[in-house]
Amino acid sequence: MPEFRLDDYLARIGFRDPVEPNLTTLAALHRQHVSAIPFEGLDPLLGRPVNLDLGTLQRKLVHSRRGGYCFEQNILFKAVLEKIGFQVTGLTARVLWMSPPESPLGPRTHMLLKVDLPDGPRLADVGFGVCVMDTPLKFQTDIEQRTAMGTYRLSEAGGLFCLSAIQPAGWRRMYTFNLEPQIQSDYEIGSWFAATHPAAPFSSTLIMERVSGDKRYKLVNRKFAVEARDGQPLEERTLGTVAELRETFEQTFNIEPPVPVEQVFSRLPT
């Protein structure tokens, strides 16, 4: 197991304050992580392997101009928090974002974290790539939790928790989960399915997202959008050229793809 270099991570996200295992540090790290390290699924789109060992994640997300998807993001964030001294439990969830209410539950293809603090547990998640959370939430059901960029609600029925977010059309379910702790092999299976199965989006769809300040930046294939709080649209356009995609990678997401931008562009449906 390679040494985890906390100082390198803090420099990557621009965090300069002292770190302590408390809510102030947790919230600040969460906020700066999603601003500095974007959600992106370039590797599965390009047919490249997604490796979840900590050494690879440090090289990719910390020491390179790359992001990652949920397993990469939250495994890294879990290591950060544990290095500081937080008590963290890794969980997995079944994504509901695109599923009608009557649909059967799908596989566990998302990772999230429960962080136990003296004043109660928090739900931390820096990797839900269609509605990235800007701050950890109270692990408390049936209350609306307003953040700088969203409004969330956690509900519970039959031992299953469900997290929802307000969007322009109303409440939308994000994912459902229980409190069974997960281990690395659970993440490996979920990540393999998410990266390679035809029913999962990442092998055929480019998804990128970054939350910074009062704006949410999204890229789905060639469709680029900027949103305000609760998903309110501010801008939407289609990237029609390689140059526009390159500029979006560099200026909006601070990403250097692992292959020439032309190769990424050629994989995107029109």
Q: Which residue among the candidates 43, 110, 131, 134 is catalytic per the annotation?
A: 110
Cα–Cα distance for residue pair 121/153, rounded to 1 Å = 15
Whether 110 is catalytic is yes
78 to each of 8, 123, 210, 265, how far by Cα in Å?
15, 12, 19, 33
Whether 33 is catalytic is no
Q: Helices 6-13 and 23-36, interaxial angle, to 10°?
A: 60
The helices-and-strands tally (H runs, E runs) of the chain is 8, 13
Contacts (Cβ under 8 Å, ≥6 apart) of 57: 51, 68, 72, 75, 76, 79
Cα–Cα distance for residue pair 171/266, rounded to 1 Å = 35
Whether 125 is catalytic is yes
Q: Which residue among the candidates 30, 33, 43, 70 is catalytic per the annotation?
A: 70
Q: Which residue among the candidates 33, 125, 131, 134 is catalytic per the annotation?
A: 125
- Which positions are catalytic? 70, 110, 125
